[in-house]
Amino acid sequence: MDGVKDRIKAFAAMTHGPEVLDSGGGFAGLFALGGYRDPVLVASTDGVGTKLKIAAQLGHFEGVGQDLVTLNVNDILTKGARPLFFLDYVSFSAFDEHRLEMLMRGMVWGCREAGCALIGGETAQLPGVYAEADFDLAGFVVGVVERDNLLDGSRVVPGDRLIGIPSSGVHTNGFSLVRRVFNTDEYPDALFRPCPGLPRNLGDELMVRHRAYYPLLEPYLGSIKALSHITGGGLPGKMPASLPGGVTAEFHVGAWPIPPVFDAIQRAGGISDEEMYRVFNMGLGMVAVCDPDRASELLSGLPDAMDVGQIVESTGPNRTVFRTA
């Protein structure tokens, strides 16, 4: 166990800059915050859900470790925050050194991509709580933004444009439905076989990592009024969280390509369009709201960004509506 702890420390040290201080022990991490006039700390915590089940069946753990960092950093990005540091929580029924090391590798990759420090965490053994091969994973990120740069959606008005940045696939939401549709708990071999309409095996498609938006969007935050990270709840569930009262996000269906994996899920499960849009990101992982005269800056600067709709005045209870383009 001491050897594992030493390797974890070595992994974490790969993400450290001068802001990370020597804590002198293992009870807490220390981070020196400086260089801000009026800083607002922004925090988030989340896990990768039942994508863990697919990862365990495939034996692919680095990807979900990286996903864990990415999805939390994406969440605080919606407030305009720069990620500062990250902490993890991993719990096993019985300690699994191999899984832990692979998870840590993925977390380090995610932290290095986002430019944040991995400064601590907890590894727990909970026999009797989980089935023998099961484990759980959660992450916590803290970031910072100047108060006058905080993205709160208050400046969004009718006429603003919706700029969509594509997802890389299913990301980390909707896996309970995916597992039911393909019955992967009972027939895990389905993950290793080709799936009609997909360029690779089903398992490989489902394990495509959650796209990291901070490196892409950080240079353009000054041109953005609001951001929505499209996770569980899809566009209807997540867009209203970034909008003020009195406005609705109107999406133009057909303005962006929907990745084949969603068509495969829908056909296999006979799922309605309404449920697909309520559960999955449907090809848009992040949606930015900006002035019409700033939209071209994002569209030209972000290689795959697309104009996918506009903000309109609300005329009913729906805060997200879909129109045929």
CATH number, domain 161-324, options 3.90.650.10, 3.40.50.300, 3.30.40.10, 3.90.420.10: 3.90.650.10
pLDDT, tens digit, 9 for 90 and up, residues 265-313: 999 999 999 999 999 999 999 999 999 999 999 999 998 999 999 999 9
- Residues 206-237 have pLDDT tens digits of 999 999 999 999 999 999 999 999 999 999 99
Q: Residue 208 gets which letter from DSSP? A: P
Amino acid at 299: L
- Calculate what percentage of the chain has a pLDDT beyond 90: 82
In terms of pLDDT, which residue wins out, 29 or 75? 75
Domain ranges of the chain: 2-147, 161-324
Tokens for 242, please give them: 């970034």
Average pLDDT over every residue of 183-207: 94
Please, which pLDDT band fits residue 24 given cuts at 50, 70 and 90? low
Print burial letters for 133-151: b (CB count within 10 Å at least 16), e (below 16). eebbbbbbbbbbbeeeeeb
Q: Looking at the domain 2-147, which fold is it?
A: 60s Ribosomal Protein L30; Chain: A; (3.30.1330)
Output the six-digit token pair for 1.
């166990």
Average pLDDT over residues 133-154: 94
Return the pLDDT at 284: 98
Residue 291 to residue 295: CA distance in whole angstroms: 6
